[in-house]
């Protein structure tokens, strides 16, 4: 036995311990996967910048403040249906113990109750929940994206509300939720690995893969859901453009008068 094994943890033990992996993440660097900047979201929300805060971020379940969530945005192929993507993601989440709590046309919320305990001096019981909200839509550049939003919440009956603990770095905080944040990071890594293995990310559209045979390329069609999302995005853009033009015209006329 060497000194490392006798007096400290071996490399394998360190790799499995979140306390020893504060700078690591199970989500690997990839051009189709990126974490949205929490600070930018917080600033946009504080400034009420509607252009910087997408509409869907103002309708998040459980915790309405989008800056409290850790959001992994994935660029997805436009020729794959949401039903297929959702079923694949649901399979991974359910295998990790998360159950479907809410489901909508373009989004689904998974939740897992991971801990029950008592607050100091036995004043009240608390529960901790792992929340994963997944929605499909289009980015400002009109690319198809899936946003995977992760959050750990403590529910306190004594305080009568939800206490958010979600952070950009899922499991680096030194608190009792650290193991759950680490579990969320592992889940995000598993989702990334699965989406890549099934050739569902955008970059696979241009790569040689079993699904990109010559026949498949010639017969490829945009998914109907993606087409509908694009139409809705353009309609919203036109509406906003007309609205701001009218506001500008109204202000200009008022100054001239």
Q: 56-100: per-residue pLDDT in tens?
A: 898 999 999 999 999 999 999 988 889 999 999 999 999 999 999
Kindly give the parts of the chain with pLDDT less than 50: 1-22, 121, 123, 157-169, 171-174, 214-217
Q: Return the number of other C-beta atoms located less than 10 Å from residue 197's C-beta.
A: 9
Looking at residue 178, what is its pLDDT?
Answer: 80
- Residue 36, domain member (yes or no): yes
- Residue 257, domain member (yes or no): no
- Residue 151, domain member (yes or no): yes
Looking at residue 125, what is its pLDDT?
Answer: 55
- Residue 144, domain member (yes or no): yes
The encoded tokens of residue 33 equal: 């996967």
Looking at residue 143, what is its pLDDT?
Answer: 86
- Residue 171, domain member (yes or no): yes
- Residue 238, domain member (yes or no): no
Domain extent, residue 198, equals 15-205
Looking at residue 158, what is its pLDDT?
Answer: 28
Could you give the CA distance from residue 132 to residue 148 in angstroms, rounded to a whole number? 7
Q: What is the DSSP string of 220-232?
A: ----HHHHHHHHH
Number of domain units in the chain: 1
Q: Return the number of other C-beta atoms located less than 10 Å from residue 25's C-beta.
A: 18
- Residue 81, domain member (yes or no): yes
């Amino acid at each position: 036995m060497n000194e490392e094994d006798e007096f400290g943890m071996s490399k394998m033990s360190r790799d499995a311990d979140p306390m020893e992996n504060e700078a690591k993440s199970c989500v690997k660097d990839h051009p189709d996967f990126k974490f949205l900047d929490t600070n930018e979201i917080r600033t946009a929300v504080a400034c009420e910048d509607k252009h910087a805060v997408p509409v869907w971020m103002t309708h998040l379940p459980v915790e309405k403040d989008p800056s409290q969530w850790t959001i992994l945005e994935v660029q997805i192929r436009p020729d794959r249906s949401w039903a297929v993507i959702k079923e694949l993601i649901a399979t991974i989440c359910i295998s990790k113990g998360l159950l479907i709590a809410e489901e909508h046309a373009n989004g689904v919320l998974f939740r897992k109750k991971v801990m029950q305990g008592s607050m100091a001096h036995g004043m009240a019981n608390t529960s901790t929940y792992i929340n994963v909200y997944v929605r499909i839509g289009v980015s400002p550049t009109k690319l198809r994206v899936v946003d995977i939003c992760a959050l750990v919440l403590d529910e306190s009956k004594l305080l009568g509300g939800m206490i958010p603990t979600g952070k950009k770095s899922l499991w680096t905080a030194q608190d009792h939720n650290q193991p759950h944040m680490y579990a969320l990071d592992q889940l995000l890594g598993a989702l990334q690995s699965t989406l890549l293995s099934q050739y569902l990310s955008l970059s696979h559209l241009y790569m040689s893969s079993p699904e990109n045979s010559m026949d498949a390329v010639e017969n490829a069609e945009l998914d109907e859901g993606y087409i509908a999302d694009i139409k809705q995005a353009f309609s919203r853009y036109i509406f906003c453009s007309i609205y701001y033009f009218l506001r500008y015209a109204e202000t200009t006329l008022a100054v001239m008068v």
